[in-house]
Amino acid sequence: MSTVAVLLPAYNEEVAIASMILLSSQYATEVIVIDDGSTDRTKQISELAGATVLSHKTNKGKGVALKTGFDYAKDFDIIVTIDADGQHNPSEIPLLIEPIANDEADLVNGSRYINGHETSTPKYRRIGQTVLDTATNIAAGVIITDSQSGFRAFSSKCFKYFNFNPEGFGIESDMLIEAANNNLRILEVEITVRYDVNTTTANPVIQGVSVLLRILELMRFNRPIYFYGLSGMVILFFGILIYLTINTTGLSNNIYLSAIGIFVILLGITLILSGVLTDSFNKFKY
């Protein structure tokens, strides 16, 4: 029988942490709370609820918290990560474990959107989620419907491939990209989620932009033809638009405006060629 560690990264989650531990313990060999510098009673309540508690003296971010948890649980057969704020339902843990136990997947992603749009998701979140899903899928070369899900299961085969570089919430996309780059089998299963609980206090716009920038950074190295090619096509389009506008409005005699149009066109072409050449070099290298 597989040994299962459930990781709960937590920062000031004293309200929900006990119920998450108790419910998760039904499906786990060990429940591990990573107390990421909480200033409330998260650590004390977690210990009273029977969890193993790994503590950071200061708040280091979710990526570091997960690294601490994975390092501790590296000898388990399966690791499950689940958010500590009560959004996820621990009774769905077996749904994520089953494909790994049956050797059908190495990473199982819990998705709110696998069967379409989950109607209770706030609209502003869904718009941002769609952008991040699209960017992650391009960077990873996979099709994932919920790239920012914190409810996942991992086989022991995955552990050595994760770098846990982002300190913040970009870790979710990073792990998917690293798994895809190492040809790990990724599967999604449907999960439920609730939004009537207190969640992160981080500004969702700032958080979303920071995650997107991280994905684009990875895309630059992993999928250069998309990173440079798409940006080059957009710039080329505007360059052509500027040049045509200049010529159709009688401003073609203005050497400075014409130079701007030509420069933007050349910049777009250069970016497109950079993407093609970098992508070809990467394929040749590997």
For residue 33, give the DSSP letter. Answer: E
6-26 per-position pLDDT tens digit:
999 999 999 999 999 999 999
CA distances from 184 to 140, 142, 147, 282 (A): 11, 11, 16, 20
Quick one: 42 and 80 in the same domain?
A: yes
Angle in degrees, 0-180, between the axes of helices 123-140 and 204-222, rounded to the nearest 10: 10
Residue with tokens 């638009």: 241
Q: What percent of the chain has pLDDT over 70?
A: 79
> For the residues 51-63, what does the mean pLDDT come to?
95
For residue 25, give the DSSP letter. Answer: G
Quick one: 197 and 246 in the same domain?
A: no
Quick one: 218 and 247 in the same domain?
A: no
8 Å CB contact between 101 and 152 = no
Quick one: 239 and 161 in the same domain?
A: no
8 Å CB contact between 20 and 51 = no
Quick one: 38 and 104 in the same domain?
A: yes
Quick one: 146 and 63 in the same domain?
A: yes
Residue 56 pairs in a beta bridge with 36
Quick one: 180 and 47 in the same domain?
A: yes
Quick one: 35 and 107 in the same domain?
A: yes
CA angle (41, 45, 47) in 5-degree steps = 125
Quick one: 118 and 256 in the same domain?
A: no
Residue 286: pLDDT band by 50, 70, 90 thresholds?
Answer: very low
Quick one: 8 and 119 in the same domain?
A: yes
Strand order in the sheet with 30-36: 52-56, 30-36, 4-10, 78-81, 152-155, 107-111, 186-190
Residue with tokens 């085969």: 157
8 Å CB contact between 146 and 114 = yes
Please give the tally of structural domains in the chain.
Answer: 2
140-186 per-position pLDDT tens digit:
888 999 998 999 999 999 999 998 876 656 789 889 989 998 999 99
Quick one: 169 and 231 in the same domain?
A: no
Burial class (CB in 10 A: 0-12, 13-18, 19+), 218: buried
Residue 132: pLDDT band by 50, 70, 90 thresholds?
Answer: confident
pLDDT of 198 reads: 59
Task: State the residue range of the domain holding 265.
Answer: 224-285
Q: Which of 167, 201, 222 is the last residue of a domain?
A: 222
Residue 108 pairs in a beta bridge with 153, 187
CA distances from 285 to 32, 123, 127, 279, 282 (A): 41, 43, 37, 10, 5
Q: Say whether pLDDT at 31 is over 90.
A: yes
Q: Which of 222, 250, 276 is the last residue of a domain?
A: 222
Q: Which of 222, 239, 273 is the last residue of a domain?
A: 222
Q: Say whether pLDDT at 199 is over 60.
A: no
8 Å CB contact between 236 and 268 = yes
